[in-house]
Amino acid sequence: MLLIRGLHNLRAEHRDCVATIGNFDGVHIGHQAVLAALTARARDAGLPSLVIIFEPQPMEFFRPEQAPARLTRLREKLEAIAGCGIDRVLLVRFDAAFAAVGAEDFVRGVLVDKLGIRHLYVGDDFRFGSGRVGDFAMLERMGAEHGFVVESLATVAEDGERISSTRVREALQAGDLAHAARCLGRRYRIAGRVAHGNKRGRTIGFPTMNIGLLRRSTPLRGVYAVLVYCLDDRPLPGVANIGSRPTLDGDDRLLLEVHLFDYDADVYGRHVEVDFVARIRDEHKFESFDALRAQIGRDVERAREIHRIDRVAHSESV
């Protein structure tokens, strides 16, 4: 997949494509349906498929303190989009200059002049341009004027309810990882690089991997049974805490710490992927390290049981 970083990097060879525009946070099954339709249309037309995304996401630019927690970092989003068979991604920097571009100027200057779009997929509630005056009707009108087709896809539902990034986020915040996984088409995953920590976990008998989150916030908080990929030829079971470690530090840093079962190797600097299987409990502040150690012991046993049940369920489904 070709990543085009910024409008200034668009070239003549990037013209003529089938495209869609959006945040695609989480790349859930609703997004996947859009991307599948996009690739099918592009294949039929003999043209490359293009996804236009923004960094930061518009809400993060306009109201950063109110912006919802991201489901995926940029790297994770790009990997998921590539996994859907997309040919190109145009990553647009969303800054004050871009926010000031009028809707019609965006259509003419970017979609028509720079990209030569032939077919465009957007949601029927899509709004764009300065003041959010651009909408689906404007795109249809300008498409007829400039020779491209605009299409809206039917939303994808699960249990009779529309699937959206907001719905996935709410499921994760409620601890309903199974529901989130159904909406995503996979378990929720956080990826990152293992970094050096203060190694206090070793002093209480539960050494942990510290994984940099590199994000402002996350929809998950608490203790979870997890599976870790990229360290072995099989996923490694463990238990994870994601939060601020109130008993140890009590600061505002958001950390992901994973204790792997029956595994001891030097993994510093390794890039790992952590799948969240089930929620165990909230994060708490304990009165002493002894109380914390006892609770982690119970968390480990609970996580081992969750993994045993999960293995049985998985073997019965294949």
**Residue 196 pLDDT:** 76
- DSSP type of residue 107: I
**Do residues 120 and 19 lie in contact, with contact meaning Cβ atoms separated by under 8 Å?**
yes
**Residue 197 pLDDT:** 66
Cβ within 8 Å of residue 225, ≥6 positions away: 237, 238, 239, 240, 276, 277, 278, 280, 302, 303, 306, 307, 310
| Residue 318 pLDDT class (50, 70, 90 cuts) | very low
Higher pLDDT, 2 or 266: 2
**Residue 150 pLDDT:** 95
Distance between CA 54 and CA 32 in Å, rounded?
Answer: 18
Beta bridge partners, 275, equal 189, 227
Distance between CA 70 and CA 54 in Å, rounded?
Answer: 13
Distance between CA 270 and CA 266 in Å, rounded?
Answer: 9
- The model's pLDDT over 173-182, given as tens digits with 9 standing for 90+, comes to 999 999 999 9
CA angle 149, 153, 159 (to 5 degrees): 180
Residue 246 has pLDDT above 60, yes or no: no
Distance between CA 303 and CA 224 in Å, rounded?
Answer: 7
For 171, phi and psi rounded to 5 degrees?
-65, -40
Which residue reads 């490359």 in tokens? 48
Q: What value does the CA radius of gyration of the chain take, rounded to a whole number of Å?
A: 22
- The model's pLDDT over 247-263, given as tens digits with 9 standing for 90+, comes to 555 556 788 999 999 88
pTM of the full predicted structure?
0.88
Domain residue extents for the chain: 2-155, 187-317
Higher pLDDT, 160 or 95: 95
Which of 16-20, 104-108, 131-135, 289-293 has the lowest average pLDDT? 289-293
Residue 216 has pLDDT above 80, yes or no: no
- The model's pLDDT over 117-128, given as tens digits with 9 standing for 90+, comes to 999 999 878 899
- Tell me which CATH code domain 187-317 carries: 2.40.30.30
**Residue 251 pLDDT:** 56
* Paired tokens of 257: 């710490």
Q: What is the mean pLDDT of the chain?
A: 90
Residue 270 has pLDDT above 60, yes or no: yes
| Residue 310 pLDDT class (50, 70, 90 cuts) | confident
**Residue 249 pLDDT:** 56
Per cent of the chain over pLDDT 90 is: 70
Sheet containing 2-5, strands listed edge to edge, beginning at the edge strand earlier in sequence: 2-5, 88-93, 49-55, 17-21, 117-121, 149-151
Among the listed residues 63, 5, 53, the one whose alpha carbon sits nearest the alpha carbon of residue 26: 53
Mean pLDDT for 39-66 is: 95
**Residue 200 pLDDT:** 60
**Do residues 24 and 123 lie in contact, with contact meaning Cβ atoms separated by under 8 Å?**
no
**Do residues 241 and 223 lie in contact, with contact meaning Cβ atoms separated by under 8 Å?**
yes
Which of 19-28, 102-111, 183-192, 239-248 has the lowest average pLDDT? 239-248
Domain 2-155, CATH number (from 3.40.605.10, 3.60.20.10, 3.40.50.1100, 3.40.50.620)? 3.40.50.620
CB neighbour class for 101 (10 Å; exposed up to 12, middle 13-18, buried from 19): middle
